[in-house]
A and B are shown apart, each in its own frame.
Chain A
Amino acid sequence: MSLKIIRAGLLDTIQDPGRYRHQHQGINPGGAMDCFSAALANALLGKELASPTIELHFPAAQVLFQQASIICLTGAYFTPMISDKEVPLHQPIIISNSTVLRFDKWGSGARCYLSILQNFTLDKWLNSYSTNLKGEAGGYKGRRLLKDDVLKFENAATLPITKDFETLPWQYRIEGTGSNEIEFIVGNEWSWLTTKSQAAFLNNEFSISPVSDRMGFRLIGEALEQGVNDSLVSSAVTFGTVQLLPNGQLIILMADHQTTGGYPRVAHITTTHLPKLAQMSTGDKVKFVMTDVYSAEKKLVAQQNYLRALQNTCNLKMQKRLNAN
């Protein structure tokens, strides 16, 4: 009852929605970069939304299923293949034992999520499965997945399957908006920007620099000016905080951000727009759009309700399917 990594990917880690209640100790929440896709992969399998998934970057790992399972892939499109046939994203797939899942070619997005029906037998660290690379804790041995790692899962589902794989008849359809608009709420130090720079922030596009990772995305654009001659005493930051660096460029803090920072917080990306941002890569352009707290909260609550309803529906379908066997 396990899967085995037969070729390591660039950066594949176990992630759940993150590790909370420890930020006062400097322990950052981590968690999936694209929390929506991670939760969606679980929802489509009818699993708890907060279950851990494997977050894959391209080139992604090759995974040998030593036991049959039902899997779901969401997020980035890396051309997933099972036995030389391409398999869909956003749709549960029964995969038979001794079968390999691999990812052939980068197509779009930056992070793909792999959820499997059974629960992994992993230990939580500080109440979360997320991998904390700095602390070498959580996830799988506190590190990225490497060749020959074996991830065990709990009880095996009884899945009589004669083919290498079979897709199940329900699917999530992405509303494909190619928009690069990212919503934000003004930050505590928004007023530190000159009026001209505030306008530039609102009207210009900023492109994602190659120096971007799970900790933060550096942006390249017109240098912004600080109108206030002051330096900030260290204070809290969050996933999505946009800081103004001393050279006038911006950085957006992502899942593995530090808990505190000393650069002016000019903006905060709204939670429901972080997944879109998390799927962007080097060279992609971001256009900031201002919103207010009420609208941002409303979208967040609606998204959570949607995912929960989807999970319930898929859970019923899954139970029916499993009982039919």
Chain B
Amino acid sequence: MNEEYTISPLGDSALLIYFRNKIDDAINKKVLSIFNRLQKLSLPEITDLIPAYSSLAICYDVAALHQKNATAFDTMKNLLEPILEAADGQSLFTTRQMKIPVCYAKVYAPDLEALAFDKNLLAEEVIGLHLAITYRVYMIGFLPGFAYMGKVDNRIATVRKTAPVNVAAGSVGIAGEQTGIYPFASPGGWNIIGRTPIKLFDKQNKEPVLLQPGDEITFYSISEDEFENYQGGPS
């Protein structure tokens, strides 16, 4: 029995490989290492893979795996064993690095001053701390293309709002130790400190979602003028 993770049913058509209830780089790397391998294998029985901070869900075709004396769940679990053994936490792909422009001007940063006040910092210091770190995309969820990134500097880590408000597309926010970008206008509870002119979701693209789990992201600051005239993608 493996002590690192458990495998349990996630309903009757999926299973969950579950490490620990924790945001941890090493665990997330293992999750993504399994995810990469399964993506590469592209088994026809697997209909979806959903990696998260410290878990990976595998959705499968029950009819293709169910046997008279064995559940599809057990068959899938057995199929996974050698793959899980081989996944050593190393990614099979080169880590993608991306620079994303963010305008931190007041007009795009409705929560910046309150956050700074709350943390006993100047708005410029909050921006500086947000810019200083290379973030890792742990997972995509919540909305198409919404990347959960971390970890932010402890000095600007802050709790989610108690009630969601309307957030504009491109808004860059902080919740707990995470930072993220809203691909769509949406109700949300993250503290918004800036906005990117980049499209994180474009249905016309073959890959409609810009960021993927495992990406390394740094932000750079642009002016209001640059924001309004910005064209193209990340660098």
Is B104 in contact with chain A by the CB < 8 A criterion?
no
A235 & B12 in contact (Cβ 8 Å cutoff): no
Interface residues of B in 25-78 (CB under 8 A from A): 35, 47-57, 59, 62-63, 66, 71-73
Given A24-B213, A25-B145, also A297-B139 (CB < 8 A):
no
Residues on the B chain within 8 Å of A294, using CB: 71
A301 & B63 in contact (Cβ 8 Å cutoff): yes
Interface residues of B in 127-184 (CB under 8 A from A): 139-146, 148, 184
Is A66 in contact with chain B by the CB < 8 A criterion?
no
B144 & A26 in contact (Cβ 8 Å cutoff): yes
Residues on the A chain within 8 Å of B54, using CB: 233, 235
- Distance, CA A296 to CA B13, complexed state (A): 9
- Distance, CA A260 to CA B54, complexed state (A): 12
- Distance, CA A312 to CA B57, complexed state (A): 34
A297 & B141 in contact (Cβ 8 Å cutoff): no
Residues on the A chain within 8 Å of B51, using CB: 24
A24 & B184 in contact (Cβ 8 Å cutoff): no
Distance (whole angstroms) from the CB of A6 to the closest CB of chain B: 29
Distance (whole angstroms) from the CB of A220 to the closest CB of chain B: 20
Name which residue of chain B comes closest to A19, CB basis: B48
Residues on the A chain within 8 Å of B73, using CB: 293, 297
Is B212 in contact with chain A by the CB < 8 A criterion?
yes
Name which residue of chain B comes closest to A126, CB basis: B208
Is A21 in contact with chain B by the CB < 8 A criterion?
yes
B50 & A236 in contact (Cβ 8 Å cutoff): yes
A259 & B141 in contact (Cβ 8 Å cutoff): yes
- Distance, CA A236 to CA B73, complexed state (A): 17
Distance (whole angstroms) from the CB of B25 to the closest CB of chain A: 13
Q: Which of B16-24, B81-89, B95-103, B220-228 lies at the interface?
A: B16-24
Contact with B along A236-260 (1 / 0, CB 8 A): 1011110000000000000000111
- Distance, CA A29 to CA B11, complexed state (A): 16
A238 & B13 in contact (Cβ 8 Å cutoff): yes
- Distance, CA A49 to CA B72, complexed state (A): 22
A293 & B12 in contact (Cβ 8 Å cutoff): yes
Is A234 in contact with chain B by the CB < 8 A criterion?
yes
Is A175 in contact with chain B by the CB < 8 A criterion?
no
Contact with A along B179-198 (1 / 0, CB 8 A): 00000100000000000000
A185 & B12 in contact (Cβ 8 Å cutoff): yes
A271 & B13 in contact (Cβ 8 Å cutoff): yes
- Distance, CA A239 to CA B212, complexed state (A): 23
A260 & B139 in contact (Cβ 8 Å cutoff): yes
Is B90 in contact with chain A by the CB < 8 A criterion?
no
B142 & A137 in contact (Cβ 8 Å cutoff): no
Name which residue of chain B comes closest to A303, CB basis: B63
Distance (whole angstroms) from the CB of B185 to the closest CB of chain A: 10
Is B115 in contact with chain A by the CB < 8 A criterion?
no
Distance (whole angstroms) from the CB of A233 to the closest CB of chain B: 5
Selected from A125, A258, A269, the residue in CB contact (under 8 A) with B11 is A269
Interface residues of A in 301-322 (CB under 8 A from B): 301, 304
Is B209 in contact with chain A by the CB < 8 A criterion?
yes
Given A23-B50, A24-B49, A258-B143, also A268-B63 (CB < 8 A):
no
Residues on the B chain within 8 Å of A29, using CB: 48
Residues on the B chain within 8 Å of A21, using CB: 47-48
Is A232 in contact with chain B by the CB < 8 A criterion?
yes
A268 & B9 in contact (Cβ 8 Å cutoff): yes
Known: A24-B140, A188-B16. 4 other contacts (CB 8 A): A24-B49, A24-B213, A27-B144, A240-B11
The contact sample of 23 A-B pairs, CB cut-off 8 A, is A23-B49, A23-B59, A24-B49, A25-B144, A27-B145, A125-B203, A134-B143, A134-B144, A135-B203, A233-B23, A233-B52, A234-B52, A234-B53, A234-B142, A235-B52, A235-B54, A238-B13, A240-B11, A258-B143, A268-B12, A293-B12, A297-B71, A297-B73
Q: Which residues from chain B sit less than 8 Å from chain A, CB to CB?
A: 8-14, 16, 18, 21-23, 35, 47-57, 59, 62-63, 66, 71-73, 139-146, 148, 184, 201, 203, 207-209, 212-213
